Amino acid sequence: MLDTITLSLSPEHRRGLDASLADEDSATSFSDLKADPGQPNLDNILSAAKRLALVKGLVLPIAACPDLSGPVARMLRRRVFNETAWAMRRHPDGRRHAFYELFLAHRQRELTDGLVDLLIEVVHKVGSQAKRRVLKAFTEEIERVYGKVRVPVDPEHRIRLIVNTHSI
C-alpha cells in the first residue's frame, strides 16, 4: 500500500508535502492540521477553510489513493496523528511521503465534516439570534399600544399580556 502511494507521487507533490512538514509556525502547520475546528465563530471557520484548502492541494486524487478504511490504513493514520512534524521529517523519503499522504487523504474528509458542522452551528446561532431580536421588537411594539391601562408580566414565562380598558 505504501509503495503504491509513493510511486504515484510526483517530485513537485513530494516537495509540497515536505514544505508543509517544515513550516511549523504558520496557521497551516502539521500540528494545526491535526487540531479540532473549535467553537463556531468567523475566525475558526476561516482557519478551518484554510486548512482544508491546504490539504486539498496536497492530497492525491481519490483514484490514486488506496482503501482508507482498512485496519492497516487506520493504524498508519493513528501513527502519523501521534507523531510530531520533527518525527515525521526523520522518516525516509518514500515512507514519510506515503504516511503523510495517507493521513492527509483521510484528514481531508474530517476537515470537510468539521467545516460543515461549524457552518451549520453558525447558521443555527444566527437564526436563534434573529428570532430573539424579532420577538423582542414585537413585544416592544405591543407595549406601545395606545389606550392600554397596564402590561402585566409573568416573570416565569416572560409572557406579556395587554389589558385594554375596553375589555375589562
Number of domains observed in the structure of the chain:
1
The answer to whether residue 42 is domain-embedded is yes
Instruction: Classify residue 161: in a domain, yes or no.
Output: no
Residue 121 pLDDT greater than 90, yes or no: yes
Per residue in 1-30, is it b (16+ CB within 10 Å) or e — as a string?
A: ebeebbebbeeebbebbbebbeeeeeeebb
Confidence class for position 41, pLDDT limits 50, 70, 90: confident
Q: Which residue has the higher pLDDT, 165 or 93?
A: 93
The 3-state secondary structure of 49-77, one letter per residue: HHHHHHHHHHCCCHHHCCCCCCHHHHHHH
Is position 103 within any domain?
A: yes
CA distances from 114 to 9, 38, 54, 89 (A): 27, 9, 15, 27
- Average pLDDT value over all residues in the chain: 77
| Nearest-5° Cα angle at 107, 25 to 43 | 50
Q: Is pLDDT of 137 > 90?
A: no
In a domain, 168, yes or no: no
Would you say residue 138 has pLDDT above 90?
Answer: no
Is residue 28 domain-resident?
Answer: yes
Determine, yes or no, domain membership for 145: no
Overall average pLDDT of the 104-130 stretch = 90
Q: Confidence band (pLDDT; 50, 70, 90) for 95?
A: confident
Q: Structure pTM?
A: 0.66
The residue segments making up the domain with residue 89 are: 2-140
Alpha helices in the chain (DSSP H): 2-8, 11-22, 30-33, 42-58, 71-82, 85-90, 93-143
